[in-house]
Amino acid sequence: MLTQQQLKQNVAQAAVDYVLPMLGPDVIVGIGSGSTADLFIDALAQYKDRFLGTVSSSERSTARLQGHGVNVFDLNDVSKVPVYVDGADEIDHGLHMLKGGGGALTREKIVASVADQFVCIVDESKLVDCMGAFALPVEVIPMAREVVARRLRALGGEPRLREGFVTDNGCIILDVAGLRITDPAALEAQVNNIPGVVTCGLFAISPATVALMSTQSGVVQLKPKGL
């Protein structure tokens, strides 16, 4: 029986194998954040001479990349990102994702938005029929904390401040429990439209292009249900 760490290592290597054909001397790779992304960074760094560099979605990932000697570019200086690789806290069969357990959701969403492909890397425990068992992270401007919390309660959620945590953008996180997310794109738009919200952790309006999922019998490739 493979441990969760072994499952993560397997899918990280599978993601490297997936992106290798895309690499070239002028290629910039988008990199997410989190424990599985860390393993992807470690595996990708072995090929750092085969691509120009990366754009990163968190200070944590930037430090890890630079520790491996991988170039990290400011997104403002990059015009093309063929692929973005990141994990998820939950993913459904439409490849809609719930992300932000590590607090980097806004930068993750920004970098993902410029990539031609979003490759989500997960282990099989993250695949769900309906998202919401994992509390939905919402990044909020500090002065709007209670205003946003009231609106989230009105949507049926139970927001709780992530104590002692500040995002790389200087904002706070409200983790919203108690949601059963049957229409993730609609909820994403609704939450994002609350004044004071920077963004929420739903990646549903723009879902993953493909998911690589690590299972006990190997890594499988998932595409949105119906395709």
pLDDT score of 224 more than 90: no
Domain co-membership, 194 together with 211: no
79 is in an annotated binding site: no
What are the tens digits of pLDDT across the range 85-126? 999 999 999 999 999 999 999 999 999 999 999 999 999 999
Domain co-membership, 178 together with 213: no
Residue numbers of the domain that contains 143:
136-199
Whether 17 maps to a domain, the answer reads yes
Whether 81 maps to a domain, the answer reads yes
Strands 115-123 and 81-86: parallel
User: What are the structure tokens assigned to 133, written together?
Assistant: 């068992």
101 is in an annotated binding site: yes
Domain co-membership, 54 together with 153: no
The CATH number of residue 184's host domain is 3.30.70.260
Domain co-membership, 49 together with 105: yes
Q: What is the pLDDT of residue 226?
A: 55
Whether 154 maps to a domain, the answer reads yes
What are the tens digits of pLDDT across the range 55-92? 999 999 999 999 999 999 999 999 999 999 999 999 99
- Percent residues over pLDDT 70 in the chain: 99
Q: What is the pLDDT of residue 6?
A: 97
Domain co-membership, 150 together with 212: no
Domain co-membership, 14 together with 103: yes
What are the tens digits of pLDDT across the range 21-46? 999 999 999 999 999 999 999 999 99
Domain co-membership, 168 together with 146: yes
126 is in an annotated binding site: yes
Whether 227 maps to a domain, the answer reads no
Whether 27 maps to a domain, the answer reads yes
CA distance 157 to 55: 34
102 is in an annotated binding site: yes
Q: What would the mean pLDDT of 126-138 be, rounded to a whole number?
A: 97
The CATH number of residue 124's host domain is 3.40.50.1360
Domain co-membership, 43 together with 97: yes
Domain co-membership, 152 together with 117: no
Q: What is the pLDDT of residue 225?
A: 73
In angstroms, what CA-CA distances link 132 with 39, 117, 129, 160, 206?
A: 26, 25, 10, 15, 18
Marked catalytic residue, from 90, 108, 139, 188: 108
Domain co-membership, 89 together with 27: yes
Whether 175 maps to a domain, the answer reads yes
Sequence length of the chain is 227
Query: What predicted TM-score, i.e. pTM, was given to this entire model?
Result: 0.96
Bigger pLDDT: 227 vs 207: 207
CA distance 106 to 99: 10
Whether 214 maps to a domain, the answer reads yes
59 is catalytic: no
33 is in an annotated binding site: yes
99 is in an annotated binding site: yes
Whether 93 maps to a domain, the answer reads yes
34 is in an annotated binding site: yes
Domain co-membership, 46 together with 86: yes
Count: domains in the chain: 2
What are the tens digits of pLDDT across the range 199-211? 999 999 999 999 9
Q: If you average pLDDT over every residue of the chain, what do you get?
A: 97
Domain co-membership, 162 together with 94: no
pLDDT score of 227 more than 80: no
Cα-flanking dihedrals φ and ψ of residue 218, to 5°?
130, 180
Q: What is the pLDDT of residue 153?
A: 98
